[in-house]
Amino acid sequence: MSDILETKARLRAGLDQHVALESVSASVKCADLALILASHDALEEALTPSAGTKYAFLGEFRQAVGSRKVTIEWTTIKEIMQAIRDHADALLKETDQ
């Protein structure tokens, strides 16, 4: 009978330890997910034309034309943003298949 009780106690301790580890693992997974979602939101905002991104990027990019540097137009920056979003969508579709 004492063997059964000892075995039961060991199993219970193992189960408690497993549950504790799973709880920590779940907490870490939730924290990782929150970080992934926050990163996604930040990237999506940065790649979506808006007053904020226009303010942040307009005048930041220049291209050499002959001996002078020309500021890249906002329209071109928006086209680049769209191309990056399209490329990301294509990559997601590839991983879904």
pLDDT (tens digit per residue) in 49-95: 999 999 999 999 999 999 999 999 999 999 999 999 899 889 888 87
CA-CA-CA-CA torsion sign (93, 38, 81, 84):
negative
Number of structural domains (the chain) is: 2
> Beta partners for 71?
62
Q: Do 55 and 94 fall within a single domain? A: yes
61 neighbors 72 (Cβ within 8 angstroms): yes
Q: Do 53 and 96 fall within a single domain? A: yes
Q: What is the pLDDT of residues 15-60, one digit of tens each?
A: 666 666 666 566 767 777 778 888 888 888 888 999 999 999 999 9
Q: Do 1 and 37 fall within a single domain? A: yes
Q: Do 33 and 72 fall within a single domain? A: no
Q: Give the domain range for residue 94.
A: 49-97
Q: Do 41 and 55 fall within a single domain? A: no
Q: Do 54 and 19 fall within a single domain? A: no
Q: Do 33 and 63 fall within a single domain? A: no
The residue that leads in pLDDT, 36 or 7, is 36
Q: Do 54 and 29 fall within a single domain? A: no
Euclidean distance between the first and final Cα of the chain, in Å? 56
Unique residue bearing structure tokens 């086209």: 79
Instruction: Count the helices and strands in the chain (H runs, E runs).
Output: 3, 2
Q: Do 41 and 57 fall within a single domain? A: no
Per-residue confidence (pLDDT) for residue 50, from 0 to 100: 93
